[in-house]
Chain A
Amino acid sequence: MTISGVGLRSSAMVQSLVDMRAQLADLQRQLGTGKKSQTYAGLGLDRGLSVGLRAHLSALSSYDSTINTANVRMNLAQSALTRISDIGHESKTNIAATSDVSMQIAQQSARSGLGEILGLLNTQAGDRYIFSGLSADQPPVETIDHILDGDGARAGLKQLIAERNLADLGTGQMGRLVVSSPSPTSVAVSEDVAGSVFGFKLAAISTTLTGATVSAPAGSPPQMSVDLGAVNPNAGETVSFALNMPDGTSTTITLTATASANPGPNEFTIGVDTTATAANLQAALTNAIGTAARTTLAAASAVQASNEFFAADTNNPPLRVSGPPATATSLVAGTAADTVIWYTGETSATPARQTATARIDDTITANYGMRANEDAIRRTVQNVATLAAVAFSATNPDAQAESSALYDRVRPALDAPPGAQKIEDIQAEIAGAQNSLAAATERHKQSSATLSDLLQSIEGVSNEEVAAQILAMQTNLQASLQTTAMLYQTNILQYI
């Protein structure tokens, strides 16, 4: 502001005093706030840069907070995955150590292991379920009770296994096979219904019996047979029936000809002629198939039921036996209303890792999403659950054979087949993401320090400098005030 002249005294002089006072006040403010200016105007030419720097710093700090959040989640995931993997190993060890009497104990520990795995899969970081893919506000898996025992009208794994067991074994507990004798010297085995998905499936037949001929599986329903012809076989010669089972495994029933009148298991007595021998063979075959159905097939059936139960998600409900199990011939998709769907998280075509991303730098994102139904995790859950779900009756004479058939299937299945995803693979991928997080944190620390320094040099003041300026200004102001006072006092009136 300009000031109108006051008589003789130069207004410019007064103005300069006012300016000095204002400068002093501004210096004092700078010392107090540590800031060069309270407005963008006062920052000088770098004002635009200061806005940019602050935006960058703010972005860095939000990256850092994202990194912290993501790190917590990944650490939780790592420890959960480690434990799940351990439980898988423990279950395997338990199976190996199981003797017949402790069947119950292995099952008990499998049940508690399953409970723990499910608990781990429902791990929350804050309110977020880390194994739920894109539906992180929903728990990814059902409770152990629902999964094993069902929930009201919704069937659980045990019920599915039981239904499948009935369906696979069929009414006569023969694994849906029919043994017949199409001619006096021949024995045939056929599937009960063409196209049925249950029970044994005929694979091949072979023999070393002298004079016998075999017919490979053919017809509808398929049938295979052995005709002993006119010559009795010699003792020690065999006929083999190869059968496929629902879980993709196969078994071969080999019957050996014996001269003994009291044949052991899987033996048949050579009769007086081939007709008598064929009758013995038919009886032995019926017996052997019955045994295989109650043991091996039952185990395979349980494994397959479990396969179907755990392959399901909300978009693909589990396949169940259609109609009365003992006579059923096909599978039907269950519904969410009648079957427990173990995985309740999100399912889409998005790769699991990409269901959670952390932006950790301007152009870098770390993917760390997980789903509880990823192959590796599902395999562990499924096999431990199968162990826990299959019931063996102590009074059942086949129980031991059945359980050993089951263990033989579950034990290798707990290890990933070559090329398939392992839990360790998930862990490695998460660890990779954590590495890039750590690297980004380090980078951010350095950039942040540099940028802050630069910002400080634009906006901040050096206290020493300001203090020195204040001193100098104070001296100047005092001198000016004194001089002004002297000038005002110097007047002719003092001297006349």
Chain B
Amino acid sequence: MSLGQALATSTAGLRATQAALALTASNVANADTPGYVRKTLTQVTSSAGASGVSVRVDAINRELDQYLQRQLRTEMSGGAYADLRAQFYSRLQSVYGAPGSASSLEGVYNDFTTALQALAASPEDSAARSGALSAAQILAQQLNSMSNSVQGLRSDAELGLSNATQQANNAMKAIADINRQLATSVTQDATAATLKDQRDAYIDQLSKLMDIKVVETDHNQVNVFTNSGIQLVGRDAAQFSFQPQGTMTATAQWNADPAKSTVGSLVLVSPSGGTYDLIANNAVRSGQIAAYIEMRDQILVEAQAQLDTIASSMAQALSSTTVPGQPYNPMPQSGFDLDTSALLPGNTIHLTWTDTITGKQHNVSIVRVDDPNALPLKNDATADPNDEVIGVDFSGGMGSVITQLNAKFAGKVNFSNPSGNTLRILDDGLGNLADIDAVSATVTQTSLVGGTLALPFFTDATSPYTGAITSLGSQSVGFAGRMVVNPALLADPSKLVVYQSGGYTADPARPNFIYDQLTTASLTFDPHSGIGSVGSPFSGNLPSYLRQMVSMQGEAADNASSLAAGQDVVVNALQGRVAEGSSVNIDEEMANLLNLQTAYAANARIMSAVKDMLDTLMKM
């Protein structure tokens, strides 16, 4: 009977309208819920009996542009990466202090040189002496505290990395959970749409942490991969494992060899239990995690290396003296005798010899090393780009040193030990394959009154700073955090002036030497700090290195913040675009509401018409 059909159809219409109304209410209610995607409803006609056509709700749709969403996620990774970098850089900037302020490194450095000037003008004045020493202490403390701050930042990065992995683990687990729930529901109902909203929120969260690829598959499933193609989430979620380091020091550094690495490494544990080192494989290239890793292992390590370079250059500039080789020519051989008694671990013997066949002059730096595990040394162990570095283990005595050295030169240059600590370096005599041009040694002065102007002004806690290399690394690593003014000098400030026993109390020679070394002496700086390169290291005086460091750090921080600002604009614009498509427009909803009201009234009107008609029928 078609009246009945009409009644049934209008009932279906009312149901559909109610569903649509409920959806509108939900849209309006969630208008301000972050991540909420506007839902629409798909109505389809359904046949009802022979002549009737009815209506039913087929699906709840999410109004979402998936291409836009994918792009947004990529940019969000980049945005989060840039923001975090900018934030760290800006904190790092505060380590360098305000330009020209008393707390900036350049400020305390200038104060120190000013105090040295005053000392040179009045060497006998005990106030000038203690003034110079306290300025030096402030400088050392400033470097100590800057080094601490940099390590504090690294520690924060480590902690941040730990938190980020927690978050990522939660998000990946949640995505997998939702995947499983959606797999069981076949209809596109409101529950499914809400679950998808949630899943998108988790994926967004994950994409802020790292760069991911999201692939949608059948049955409402998504698979999440790293950009390098490692699966993070499928039906099950992989998990990150990260063991953070409690306290961070300059010597704690990441190493591809897990046995040598002293900071936490990020390992992906797949659902099947396989492991994959994300840092070693450089698998995370964007997002907060990448920013944390970059900060912890590169930028902050480099910032520390710059401070260490300043500290070690200052210490060495003031304490290094040269021991000349004494010519020794027992014809037909000729060469030099060199006294190595003052040579400390890290000190260098400079040997220049010419290969007479090729005519090539070789500069050889023979570095004293007391830890055989540190050998062999790389060519960049010294800042000099033109030398060949040979590390020699001195712990076995001169006999062993001679053996090690002779093994390196194939008879062209001959080493022997005539007596004591004397190293005799001779050419090959009648063979005429080589000529020894020059021999000298750079040694670290350890006495305050050794008769030279050089003095161990700054020390590594209580031991002298010589730049010694051991299997744990160079003494320079973290030296900025450990350097102090030589306690012996603090105990007797007159040694700032008197450089030999019986020296004069008003002799300005040593104060002038210290001042010159710290202001005008040209030094070559270790390229590992990111200033200068191994092939052409930065060379200049200490203030110019300081200038370079501040300049480079400022530039990097400025770039990072511009990058972050630019990325913010992109992310904001994309978010705007996504929001335009996906967020709830109240005006639109209200207009819909009017429509629905009318539709509801119309359906109800049909029902009442059918009732009237049925009543009429009954009255007949």
Binding site for B on A (CB under 8 A): 1-8, 10-12, 15, 35, 37-45, 47-48, 50-52, 54-55, 58-59, 61-63, 65-66, 69-70, 126-128, 132-138, 346, 348, 355-359, 362, 459, 491-493, 496
Contacts and interface: CB of A to CB of B under 8 A. Distances in A.
Given A4-B575, A12-B572, A58-B114, A492 B557 contact: no
A357 B120 CA distance: 8
B508 A40 contact: no
B114 A61 contact: yes
A48 B551 contact: yes
Interface in B487-512: 504-508, 512
Contacts of B122: 69, 126, 128
Given A40-B93, A59-B113, A127-B126, 5 more contacts: A55-B110, A128-B122, A134-B504, A359-B117, A492-B591
Nearest to A10: B576
Given A5-B575, A66-B117, A137 B506 contact: yes
B543 A6 contact: no
Contacts of B111: 58
21 contacts: A2-B568, A8-B584, A8-B585, A12-B576, A47-B99, A47-B551, A48-B554, A50-B99, A50-B100, A63-B117, A66-B117, A66-B118, A69-B121, A134-B507, A136-B123, A137-B124, A355-B507, A356-B506, A357-B512, A359-B515, A492-B590
Contacts of A459: 99-100
A63 B114 CA distance: 8
A496 to B, nearest CB: 6
B110 A54 contact: yes
Contacts of B113: 58-59, 62
A135 B506 contact: yes
A443 to B, nearest CB: 17
Contact of A357 (B125, B508, B546, B583): B508
B214 to A, nearest CB: 19
A47 B547 CA distance: 8
Which of A55, A65, A355 has most chain B Cβ within 10 Å?
A55
Contacts of B123: 136
A65 B573 contact: no
B211 interface: no
Report the 6 A-B pairs with minimum CB-CB distance, sorted nearest first: A48-B551, A40-B554, A136-B506, A134-B504, A41-B557, A58-B110
A223 B512 CA distance: 62
B507 A47 contact: no
A128 to B, nearest CB: 6
A128 B506 contact: yes
B612 interface: no
Interface of B: 31-32, 34-35, 76, 79, 83, 89-90, 93-94, 96, 98-100, 106-107, 109-111, 113-114, 117-118, 120-126, 504-508, 512, 515, 519-520, 543-544, 546-548, 550-551, 553-555, 557-558, 561, 568, 571-573, 575-576, 578-579, 583-587, 590-591, 594
B408 to A, nearest CB: 42
Contacts of A63: 117
Contacts of B34: 4-6
A40 B505 contact: no
Given A41-B561, A70-B121, A1 B568 contact: yes
Contacts of A356: 506, 508
Contacts of A15: 568, 572
A486 to B, nearest CB: 15
Nearest to B548: A48
A11 B569 CA distance: 11
Nearest to B94: A39
B575 A7 contact: no
B368 to A, nearest CB: 35
Contacts of A39: 90, 93-94, 96, 98-99, 554, 557
Contacts of A50: 99-100
Contacts, number: 197
A41 B585 contact: no
B552 to A, nearest CB: 8
B594 to A, nearest CB: 7
Contacts of A41: 89-90, 93, 553-555, 557-558, 561
B576 A5 contact: yes
A358 B114 contact: no
Nearest to B551: A48
Nearest to B515: A359
Nearest to A8: B585
Contacts of A357: 120, 508, 512
A128 B126 CA distance: 11
Contact of B100 (A45, A54, A132, A359): A54
A48 B118 contact: no
Contact of A54 (B106, B504, B508, B572): B106
A15 B520 CA distance: 49
A136 to B, nearest CB: 3
Nearest to A48: B551
B96 A491 contact: no
Given A40-B554, A40-B557, A47-B550, A11 B575 contact: yes
A70 B100 CA distance: 28
Given A5-B575, A7-B584, A12-B572, A51 B504 contact: no
Contacts of B568: 1-2, 15
Which of B31, B106, B121, B576 has most chain A Cβ within 10 Å?
B121
Contacts of A135: 124, 504-506
Contact of A11 (B96, B120, B547, B579): B579
Contacts of B121: 65-66, 69-70, 358-359
Contacts of A37: 99
B594 A491 contact: no
A171 B520 CA distance: 69
Contacts of A35: 98-99
Nearest to B578: A5
Nearest to A490: B587
Contact of A4 (B35, B124, B520): B35
A313 to B, nearest CB: 14
A359 B558 contact: no
A38 B506 contact: no
Given A39-B554, A47-B550, A493 B114 contact: no
Given A39-B554, A58-B110, A51 B546 contact: yes
A125 to B, nearest CB: 9
Contact of B543 (A1, A52, A65): A52
Contacts of B553: 40-41
B512 A359 contact: yes
Contacts of A358: 121
Contacts of B76: 2
Contacts of B100: 50, 54, 459
Contacts of A62: 113-114, 117-118
A491 B572 contact: no
Contacts of A138: 505
Given A1-B568, A42-B558, A493 B586 contact: yes
A436 to B, nearest CB: 15
B551 A492 contact: no
Given A41-B89, A47-B555, A63-B117, A348 B572 contact: no
A11 B576 contact: yes
Contacts of B544: 52
A145 to B, nearest CB: 26
A136 B124 contact: yes
Contacts of A134: 504-507
Contacts of A65: 114, 117-118, 121
A370 to B, nearest CB: 12
A346 B497 CA distance: 15
A6 B93 CA distance: 33
Contacts of A128: 122, 124-125, 506
A60 B617 CA distance: 114
Contact of A359 (B120, B548, B554, B583): B120
Given A39-B90, A491-B586, A8 B508 contact: no
